[in-house]
């Protein structure tokens, strides 16, 4: 972790609550929280470390948000709400986790996650092999590097002048405040630039063995760069929802040429 202004490493320690300043000491706080946790467990509630917000739970699933509901309602409108991953439980646990439409007015489409993931990952890797294997990563340098270095040097010079007695704080504090603001803005801009470059180069120089090396969040980023969405069609009337997985009921919508796919004729359609 570095200081946004100076760029120097920051080393620090956690500070516990102080009774004089905060009205409660650390030991008293621990005693209170121990009682709270005991009451939660007595009521059968999960511990804090077991509870996660819904957005974190859904991110455990590779295609949450990419899948869209293809159910048609009474007004002949396609739902297109996002499907999110869910953990199977009870008598359905043997069928494994599943994706389900989360629209309160629909919830009419769902699929087993394992089958969907296997099919779509196969399509994804075929596109990556075809379109990105022979490409090379290229990072555009950030244009603000020299400007940021000059501002940090100016900031250090002003601080040194204050410490040496050559300048008075009351005379230069407005200058330091302005320098801090400009430096922090450039630091944010550099971070945004590097993140954008990393995403742009995520697929360049592709090798299939990279897929298993990626974290789930990185795999989801790859999915977002290749798929625009995948529409999940309802199971036809008369077909059991326990029937074997039918890949024809998934309609893949690829990212257009305005997205990350290179303008090659063989990369425009399905693999």
113 and 224 co-located in one domain: yes
Task: Count other C-beta atoms under 10 Å from residue 171's C-beta.
Answer: 10
231 and 131 co-located in one domain: yes
130 and 170 co-located in one domain: no
40 and 112 co-located in one domain: no
Domain that holds residue 131: 52-135+214-267
For residues 3 and 222, give the distance between their C-alpha atoms in angstroms, rounded to a whole number: 32
For residues 271 and 188, give the distance between their C-alpha atoms in angstroms, rounded to a whole number: 39
Question: Is 202 a residue whose pLDDT tops 70?
Answer: yes
Tell me the per-residue pLDDT of 60-88, one tens digit each, with 9 for 90 and over: 899 999 999 999 877 788 999 999 999 98
Chain CA centroid to CA 41, Å: 32
The answer to the question of residue 12 being in a domain is no
61 and 172 co-located in one domain: no
The tokens of 218 are what?
């990185």
The answer to the question of residue 166 being in a domain is yes
The total number of structural domains in the chain stands at: 3
43 and 84 co-located in one domain: no
pLDDT score recorded for residue 192? 93
Hunting for tokens 């969907």 — which residue is that? Answer: 116
224 and 247 co-located in one domain: yes
Ranking 52-66, 102-116, 178-192, 250-264 by mean pLDDT, the lowest is 250-264
The answer to the question of residue 209 being in a domain is no
121 and 92 co-located in one domain: yes
The answer to the question of residue 9 being in a domain is no
Structure confidence at residue 262 as a pLDDT band (50, 70, 90): very low
130 and 219 co-located in one domain: yes
The tokens of 224 are what?
């977002």
pTM of structure: 0.61
- Residue at a domain's end among 49, 66, 93: 49
The answer to the question of residue 63 being in a domain is yes
120 and 187 co-located in one domain: no
27 and 157 co-located in one domain: no
The mean pLDDT of 122-139, rounded to a whole number, is 86
The mean pLDDT of 233-259, rounded to a whole number, is 82
Nearest Cα neighbor of 232 from 82, 35, 86, 105 is 82
Q: Which long-range contacts (CB under 8 A, 24 or more apart) does 119-124 make?
A: 119/245, 119/247, 119/250, 120/62, 120/63, 120/223, 120/227, 120/230, 120/250, 120/252, 121/62, 121/211, 123/252, 123/270, 123/271, 124/222, 124/223, 124/226, 124/227
The answer to the question of residue 153 being in a domain is yes
Structure confidence at residue 197 as a pLDDT band (50, 70, 90): confident
- Residue at a domain's end among 174, 200, 226: 200
Mean pLDDT of all residues belonging to the chain: 79
The mean pLDDT of 142-167, rounded to a whole number, is 93
The answer to the question of residue 158 being in a domain is yes
85 and 126 co-located in one domain: yes
The answer to the question of residue 3 being in a domain is no
């Amino acid at each position: 972790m570095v200081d946004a202004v100076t760029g120097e490493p920051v080393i620090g320690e956690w500070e516990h609550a102080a009774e004089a300043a905060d009205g409660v000491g650390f030991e008293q706080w621990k005693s209170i929280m121990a009682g709270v946790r005991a009451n939660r467990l007595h009521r059968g509630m999960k511990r804090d470390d077991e509870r996660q917000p819904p957005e974190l739970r859904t991110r455990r699933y590779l295609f949450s948000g990419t899948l869209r509901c293809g159910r048609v309602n009474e007004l002949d409108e396609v739902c297109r709400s996002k499907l999110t991953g869910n953990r199977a439980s009870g008598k359905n646990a043997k069928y494994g986790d599943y994706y389900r439409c989360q629209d309160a007015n629909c919830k009419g489409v769902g699929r087993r996650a394992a089958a969907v993931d296997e099919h779509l990952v196969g399509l994804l890797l075929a596109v990556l092999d075809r379109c990105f294997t022979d490409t090379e990563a290229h990072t555009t340098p950030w244009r603000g590097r020299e400007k940021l270095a000059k501002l940090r040097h100016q900031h250090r010079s002003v601080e040194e002048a204050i410490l040496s007695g050559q300048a008075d704080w009351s005379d230069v504090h407005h200058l330091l405040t302005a320098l801090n603001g400009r430096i922090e803005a450039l630091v944010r801009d550099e971070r945004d630039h590097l993140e954008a470059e990393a995403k742009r180069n995520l697929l360049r120089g592709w090798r299939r063995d990279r897929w298993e090396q990626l974290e789930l969040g990185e795999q989801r980023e790859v999915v977002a760069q290749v798929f625009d969405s995948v529409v999940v069609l309802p199971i036809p009337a008369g077909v059991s929802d326990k029937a074997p997985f039918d890949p024809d009921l998934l309609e893949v919508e690829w990212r257009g040429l305005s997205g990350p796919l290179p303008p090659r004729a063989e990369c425009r359609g399905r693999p």
